[in-house]
Amino acid sequence: MGRDVAWVVPGNLHLTVKFLGAVADGRIGSIVGALTGTAADVSPFDANFAGLGAFPSATRPRVVWAGVTGGAGAMVDLAVRVDGALAALGFARDERPFSPHITLGRVRQPGRNPALTQDLWSAAAQEFGRLHVAGVSLMRSELLARGARYTELATVSLRGDVGRGV
């Protein structure tokens, strides 16, 4: 499976709650305010990762992911709250139901790949670890030739305070 997938470097692994696209710097403050209001009512939780899957499907993989098992309900609740808070600022609501996962890699040549599909199915019950989710970060993502570069703009603690990034 390894050579067919461009793996995300460990420092870039993350749980995406909502993708905003290009955002003007002048909107950052209102976004952080919306996240702060949303996070005030959410308790920290643990997210357990288990099983591999792929978008759009295991038989035609483009993105390889590990699912969130324990903590999935809390993740979905957080995503729904964030989606609603940002909709109030004019961001489009997500059309698809939120599927909590962590992206592990992108398939180099998307399409049918029976060997990769078999590897995904064979890891369907494998456990990968746990993460304590204590906050939400607003991140800037820049796609570069060597991969994505992420910059934390702010972090909001669940039931807590706001910390400013760069």
**pLDDT for 41-90, tens place per residue?**
899 999 999 999 999 999 999 999 999 999 999 999 999 999 999 999 99
Q: What is the DSSP letter of 94?
A: P
**Band of the pLDDT at 145, cuts 50, 70, 90?**
confident
Report, as residue numbers or ranges, the catalytic residues: 14, 101
Number of compact structural domains in the chain? 1
Residue-range definition of the domain harbouring residue 65 = 2-164
In Å, how far are 110, 120, 133 from 85, measured between CA atoms? 35, 35, 19
pTM of the model: 0.85
Output the domain CATH number for residue 125.
3.90.1140.10
